[in-house]
A = this chain, B = another copy of it.
Amino acid sequence: MGKDAGVSVQATATSFAIVEALRTREQAGVTELATELDRSKSAVHNHLSTLETLGYVTSTDGKYRLTHRFLRLGLATRERNPIYAAAKAKLRTLARTTGESVNLVVPEDDHGVYLYRVGNGEHPIEEGGSVALHASAAGKAILAYRGHEAVDDFIDRHGLPALTERTVTDPATLRSQLRSIRDRRVAFDRGEQTEGWQCVASAIVIEDDPIAAISVSGPADRMQGKRLEEDTTGLVVSTAKAIELEVLSD
């Protein structure tokens, strides 16, 4: 039917392509979007005016931008997840005691999503953004609690693309790391996702299902030695355990 397998309603694909272009762009005009997305001006105009009457886009003299309708959609999905309410307050205190950025990551399809993030803004990770599961401490913490076949399938589907020089690209190495993560309840990321940034993570596991992971991340020079290995690690693990209990008690 459609030229691209699975995408049968191409108008929807076009509309969302425009929406995503507007996300990065603050505001944009018709011609600008048309050239970037390689569509005709009239097509882009049609979609924009449709999105405008639907309330997802506003225009002020020729420039279009996204409205806050997406905020309602996005927050609704987040609020729905019980892990969010259970973790929020505890992550705040974890951020305060460690002085570093703290993240809450949940798995979604084959990637992780930053559901919540409280930090000093040094590292430009955006809430709602996604992470590769194999190249982040939180992601590996989640993968560690999935079955062997699930991990194999994951590797088959995506491979282990390198994000930095230190990303784990060898399946055997990854599998051995996952084993030790499960044993010790901690995952580490030493610049595997972003050069110069280290991470400690621990998964939230409910009934053998890793529903989330929390992580503390900071620049390599602050996250090393005894501080990383003992202090931070201990805090992350105990916070993860506390969140597990909170989830179970609701």
Identify the A interface with B (CB < 8 A): 4, 6-9, 11-13, 15-16, 19-20, 23-24, 26, 46-47, 49-56, 58, 65-80, 106, 108-109, 113, 115, 126-129
Cβ-defined contact, A70 with B67, below 8 A? no
Cβ-defined contact, A50 with B7, below 8 A? yes
Query: How many copies of the polypeptide does the oligomer hold?
Result: 2
Smallest Cβ distance from A83 to chain B, in angstroms? 12
Cβ-defined contact, B9 with A127, below 8 A? no
Contacts of A23 in B (CB 8 A): 72-73, 76-77
Smallest Cβ distance from A19 to chain B, in angstroms? 7
Cβ-defined contact, B108 with A58, below 8 A? yes
Smallest Cβ distance from A21 to chain B, in angstroms? 12
Identify which of B71, B77, B108 contacts A77 (C-beta below 8 A).
B71
Interface class of chain A by DSSP: helix
Contacts of A50 in B (CB 8 A): 6-9, 12-13
Beyond A16-B56, A66-B77, is A71–B8 a contact (Cβ under 8 Å)?
no
Smallest Cβ distance from A158 to chain B, in angstroms? 14
Closest B residue by C-beta to A117: B75
Identify which of B12, B71, B77 contacts A12 (C-beta below 8 A).
B12
Cβ-defined contact, A68 with B12, below 8 A? no
- Given A65-B77, A68-B113, A76-B126, 17 other A-B contacts at CB below 8 A? A6-B50, A7-B50, A8-B46, A9-B11, A66-B77, A67-B77, A67-B109, A68-B128, A70-B70, A70-B74, A71-B74, A71-B113, A72-B127, A73-B73, A73-B74, A73-B128, A74-B128
